[in-house]
Amino acid sequence: MAGLVHSNAPLMALPPSDHGGDVMTDRFHWSKAVAGVMDALVVPAFGAPGILIRSQGWTEDLGRVDLRGQRFIVTGANAGIGLAITTALARQGAQVDLVCRDQLRATDAIETVSNSVRSTPYGPEAQLNVVLADLTDLQATRAACVQLAQDPTPIEALVHNAGALFSQRILSPQGVEQTFALHVLNPFLMTALLLKPFREHRRARVIWVSSGGMYTQRLKVRDLAKGADRFDGVVAYAQCKRAQIEVMKRMHEGEHKHGLVISAMHPGWADTRGVRESLPRFRQLTRWFLRDAAQGADTALWLALSAEAKQAGGRLYLDRVPRSEHIPWSGTQTAEEDIDALWALCERLCGVTWPD
């Protein structure tokens, strides 16, 4: 299978061509047609069947890209999607800065990645560096960026992957509800603090890892900073994933002229530790078709590495295809004044003014 998708699940057999045409063309049209049906059904589209079908039409093999000497930053890199992204980059010889909250888990992650890539052609040349930071704390984010900025190696891509679903409302050290602090303020601040080297490099990419949960929510800016009166962790998570998309689009509007490509993806439904711990009932019902972490990570890697993805800024992607940000007739569209209010809130709470 093309790309960086790895799974033990068998591939569906491709139907034979009935007109003697180009096999890859037949495969593309067939996979596109089946994917369209699955999109309408949602469940198989977000699960493993979705990526197994869509990948039949891919022609770009990201697994052959030589990344030696290239630098990437991945937040939440010690588990799940983040660990899969880190492993794939290291397999190709990249330098990866792993931004993690826990030293022990970060050390375990580096050992896991190193063992996984040791026998690959470029893996032994990979450089793995740990930056410790609790990204619910904006001061920790600032300290992490100071450490990251000490390395003069240009940053090819920053992947905002760190995330968590919290069962109760807890305020960050800055007095902000921690779901919002982690998923929205931290990526906003980290991107702002690394903007100077990004602009100097003029080809950096910033990828936000969102979630299909955002499809269930219309943005309510007033509830973000402190949380709703009746806190629901699932709703707060989905609200912040919706906010991520709006911030990403506004950010790309201002930065594409400086050479940055800022985009978002959602990994589909993947069987990660976060899902197992935070949504055990959901996993019990869906485990038979969940994606593995590598499948969930593929689109983030495509956005970070692909030549095609140079034009991907300002959009949400699933399985290397731009997706609508809203389900028809769901009423989740965000008013322009709410986007303005969200951006102003991020600037105020992060203590930054976004430069022109």
Measured CA to CA, the distance from residue 175 to residue 234 in angstroms comes to: 20
Measured CA to CA, the distance from residue 227 to residue 250 in angstroms comes to: 23
CB 332 within 8 A of CB 122: no
Side chain identity at 296, as an amino acid letter? Answer: G
Question: Listing from the earlier edge strand, what are the strands of the sheet with 321-323?
Answer: 127-132, 95-100, 71-75, 155-160, 205-209, 261-265, 316-318, 321-323
So which residues are the catalytic ones? 237
Torsion of CA 215, 84, 309, 183, to 10 degrees: 40
Query: Would you call 127 helix, strand, or coil by DSSP?
Result: strand
DSSP designation for 291:
B
Measured CA to CA, the distance from residue 283 to residue 276 in angstroms comes to: 6
Residues 6+ away with beta carbon under 8 Å from 7:
48, 52, 291, 292, 294, 295
Q: Which of 230, 187, 237 has the alpha carbon at shortest distance from 214?
A: 237
User: Cα separations (Å) of 177 from 139, 160, 233, 245?
Assistant: 15, 19, 11, 19
Residue 309 exposed, middle or buried by CB count within 10 Å (0-12, 13-18, 19+): buried
